[in-house]
Structure 1
Amino acid sequence: MFPADALVSSPRAEKARLYSAIEQRLEQSLKIMDGIVSSRVHVSYDVDTGDSGKTALPIHISVLAVYEKDINPEIKINDIKRFIVNSFASVQYENISVVLSKRRDIIEQAPTYEINEPIFAYDKTMPVSILLALMSIATCWLLWKYRAILINLIRLKNK
């Protein structure tokens, strides 16, 4: 997102890099709170603040946090808001929005498949197929045995 090999960085790029680092640090800090599994922090800021004497717009912060334990959401929202408002010098409490989401229980289960028809269905041609297979095996065995007898007869003649 921010190329480190850029020779000249603009003030906007530096500000974006700074706020991105702040967001990441806040996300890490929120995960340390009891019951919070993961979090995302988004800071909206005016890119042009400080340029050409323009008045700064208020900063807005939104937090999405996923919690795991049975906690009181109202208390956790107040804790998160208090933490965020104390992380910035110029953020108003009303400009912070927090959305809490309870982590879904993941049930690990092997996939199930429905078999509508049996793999080997019995029909009228099955006995005939089995009989043909057995006859083929018997024929091959007899030919092998007959071949051995013929080879022995040829050997006796040559002696």
Structure 2
Amino acid sequence: MTELQDVTLTVNGRRYTLAVEPRRLLVDVLRDDLGLVGTHIGCEHGVCGTCTVLVDGASIRSCTTLAVQADGRTVRTVEGLGDGAGLHPLQEEFWDKQGLQCGYCTPGMLMRALEILEQDPDPTPERVREGIASNLCRCTGYQYIVEAVMAAAPRMRLAAPATQPTTGAQA
């Protein structure tokens, strides 16, 4: 019998402490223990990207990441995109631009697109295309996804809180 290990995760802003087997995958903890089934399981080898989530702001494959590796870290899943009252601009643009077809790749694609836009709020279409190439989609041909990400970029820039420049002078 494998000894359980306590793991504390902050998932979509909520803190959880769970006892898990050390060999348990993060995707299984998210889906089975926390009920966050938006993270899909595809290839189970880290190739397709359907299981992509953000850990401390960086995209990872949750099907090849052990839950114990995420101990003490912040995890964001597709369920954490919307605010409960409405969709995130990326979700709205995926819908409007038909960036989702069968929808299986969509959660991972949304999380990867979010990371791209958080790193570069004003990307070129080429940068988006290169960034999402790590996630496989068999339905859209990627063009609609690129269009959706490009349409979401200015909306996300407008929604981002304004930062005040620091001059070094004390008031």
TM-score computed with the length of structure 2 as normaliser = 0.29
Task: State which structure, 1 or 2, has the greater radius of gyration over its C-alpha atoms.
Answer: 1
Q: Which has the higher contact order (CA 8 A, sep 6+)?
A: 2
